């Protein structure tokens, strides 16, 4: 069958980009409840990888929803579309040899499977595990309190479901460990996957 997207036959391939930047691309998909520590660890991870000479891109709800996804709300369909677009953008960065860190709640298995299906074998799921009771104590924006009062509808963990990942590639417990210990756990698992080895 004739290729209807012939440009993909002519552009530089991922392994060529990886060879140039001397790293293996990976999409680190960090999931967890609001307040679990996703954004904090994502920023710490990006800084730590930068210090080790890795080229990264950090995507989270804030920078996506102010640009690519600024026309989306928080309905079930809009949340699904938010993740779909994030996954497609992550895939583009991945094919360019970039280590991409995504910090997104991604509340259901179906949504995470969709992201994984788009990204492919460079998808690395990281579950930032923290009980909702602890997340609520960290609620600096007061979102959980507003959700419990009914002021925010469809808030994940309160009146919208969160399906905890059962088969994440990496799981860290931010309620049981310090930020530094969680970061080291991430680095121990991630750095070997993105380290470029000359063949």
Catalytic entry in 25, 39, 94, 106: 106
- DSSP of the chain: ---S-GGGGTSPPHHHHHHHHTB--EEEEEE--TTSSHHHHHHHHHHHHHHTT--EEEEEHHHHHTTTTTT--SSHHHHHHHHHHHHHHHHHHHHTT-EEEEE----SHHHHHHHHHHH-TTEEEEEEE--HHHHHHT-TT-HHHHHHTTSSSS-BTTTB-----SS-SEEEETTTS-HHHHHHHHHHHHHHHHB----
Does 106 participate in catalysis according to the annotation?
A: yes
Distance separating alpha carbons of residues 72 and 140, to the nearest angstrom: 24
Token code pair at residue 196: 């470029």
Active site amino acids? 106
């Amino acid at each position: 069958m004739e290729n209807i997207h012939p440009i993909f036959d002519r552009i530089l391939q991922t392994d060529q980009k990886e060879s140039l930047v001397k790293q293996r691309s990976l999409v680190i998909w960090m999931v967890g409840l609001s307040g679990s520590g996703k954004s904090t660890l994502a920023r710490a991870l990006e800084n730590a990888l930068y210090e080790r000479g890795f080229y990264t891109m950090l995507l989270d709800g804030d920078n996506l929803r102010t640009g690519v996804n600024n026309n989306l709300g928080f309905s079930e369909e809009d949340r699904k579309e938010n993740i779909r677009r994030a996954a497609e953008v992550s895939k583009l960065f991945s094919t360019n040899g970039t280590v991409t860190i995504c910090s997104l709640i991604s509340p259901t298995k179906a949504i995470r499977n969709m992201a994984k299906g788009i990204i492919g074998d460079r998808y690395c799921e990281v579950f930032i595990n923290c009980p909702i009771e602890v997340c609520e104590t960290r609620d600096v924006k007061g979102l959980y309190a507003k959700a419990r009062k009914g002021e925010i509808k469809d808030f994940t963990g309160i009146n919208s479901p969160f399906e905890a990942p059962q088969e994440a590639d990496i799981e860290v417990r931010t309620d049981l460990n310090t930020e530094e210990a969680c970061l080291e756990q991430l680095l121990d698992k991630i750095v070997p996957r993105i380290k470029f080895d000359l063949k």
